[in-house]
Every structure is written in C-alpha cells, then in structure tokens.
Structure 1
Amino acid sequence: MFAALGDPARLRIVARLCESGPLSIVRLTEGADMTRQAVTKHLHALSDAGLVRSERSGRESLWRLDPRRLEEAQRYLGQISARWDQALVRLTALVESEGRDEA
C-alpha cells in the first residue's frame, strides 16, 4: 500500500479522487500530464494495493477510493507517530537529566 502511494502520480490520483469522488479515466486524465494508458496503469496498481476500486456506470468505469485501506494506513502511521513521540519524551528527559548532572 505504501509503495503504491509512494509514486507521486498515484498520490495525485488518490488526492483527486478524495476531492472529487468517483471519476472515470477520461475525467482523471483531464488536466493531468499523463495519457489514459498511464492513468489506467496507475489505477490498476492502486487497485492491486486495495486503495481504489472500479464500478461500471453505463459504458464507462468509475473509479473510487476504498477508504478501509486508507484508514488502515492512518492507524499504522498514528502508531508510528506515537512511538516517535514517546522516544522524543525519553530523549528530552535524558538530555535534561544530563544537563542537571553537569550543573
């Protein structure tokens, strides 16, 4: 999932789907500096990562985000952030205690 989001083009597609809701490949290509083929390739990579899914609407497919995977990523990043916060608290306490010992 993070590898899929690590690509700037894919991240722009995800951001666009967040802002606009479900879009067709034609709409996703509008204003993008990519061909339909490139957008399709990126959508399939995002789909393989479980981040987007497509649904048929008449003659075209609409692509939408699958929020479950993004929520999973958010939880994971929250855990990492909490660990970093704890490590920084410990580091601050260590630096402050060494400063008192030297005084």
Structure 2
Amino acid sequence: MVKFSEALLDRTFAALADPTRRALLARLSAQHALSVSELAQPFEMSLPAVMKHLDVLSEAGLITRTKTGRTVACRLSAAPMEQALQWLSVYERFWNEQLDRLAAFVEEDVPCPADPVSRSSATSKPRPRKSSAPGPTRRKS
C-alpha cells in the first residue's frame, strides 16, 4: 500500500473544499499562467480576499507563484492532486468490488418466496415493563 502524508492530504482536501479555490484552479488549468489580477477578475470579491484563497492554495502546494517586477504570476501544480487521487483510488477499488458483489447478488436467478414472512416480526418480543412505578407528580401552587 502506498504511504501518504496525512498532513499534506489534509491541506489538499481542505484547499479543494472551497468552491472559489476550485474555480481558481480550473482557471489555472485552462491557462499556462495568470497574474493575480487576471485570476481575480471574474470573481465578485476584493483582491485581498482572492489573495487569501491563493495563500491557502499555495500552502497546500496546489499553485506556485513567481514575481516579475510588480506582477505575481500563478501556475497550477498538480502533484498534491495526484497524491490525493492515488489515495482515493484505494477506496475506489474497494467500492467497485463491493458494488460488483452487490450486482452479482442482485442478478442471481433465485426465486422469491410466494408469501414472504418478515423475520423481524417472527422473532420480536414485547417490551419489558418498567421496573418501578412512575414517580410523584408536581403539584401546581
């Protein structure tokens, strides 16, 4: 089994949890590199708010920033997403196997009984009585 850095996975998934950050990554995947102002253009939020989102993405390793003069360019860095995908693939295999087993079970040609009896009603017992009588009630003054 592949070993994963839990802290890195936590940061990656936390960064990907926000729809604005996912939209920023989508824009970066369509372009080679974009300046911060170009990235912020379609969003109805302040530039400092976009910068905070970029800080989270940068700390997770999902983007790299390079400064040329006064312009900061951002680029997508896919390595953390590849590690997250590897982590998810373990669970994908598990669920595919479980769903395949379920499909095989459902597709078995086993006839249903003509008069099905609920097993739970045949084995259920009445509730036991309470061990003591109810307590005194409060009088209204």
TM-score w.r.t. the length of structure 2 is 0.65
Output the aligned Cα RMSD.
1.8
Instruction: Give the alignment partner of residue 16 of structure 1, picking from 13, 19, 27.
Output: 27
For structure 1, list consecutive stretches of 5 or more residues without a partner in the other structure: none
Alignment partner, residue 77 of structure 2: 66
| Percent of residue pairs bearing the same amino acid type | 37
Please name the residue that 2:90 is paired with.
79
Deviations 1:31-52 (A, max 9, x none): 2222111110000011111111
Q: In structure 2, give the amino acid aligned to 1:20.
A: Q
Whichever residue aligns with residue 67 of structure 1, its letter is: A
Structure 1 CA distance for aligned equivalents of residues 88 and 111 of structure 2: 36
How many residues are aligned here?
102
**Aligned-partner Cα distance in 2 for 1:73–1:22:** 23
Q: CA shift at 1:21, angstroms?
A: 2.0
Q: Tell me which protein shows more helix as a share of its residues.
A: 1
* Greater Rg by CA: 2
Q: Could you list the runs of 4 or more consecutive aligned residues of structure 1 that deviate by over 3 angstroms after TM superposition?
A: none
Which residue of structure 1 lines up, in the alignment, with residue 65 of structure 2?
A: 54
The aligned counterpart of 1:100 is: 110
Unaligned runs of 5+ residues in structure 2 are: 1-11, 114-141
Length-normalised TM-score, structure 1:
0.86
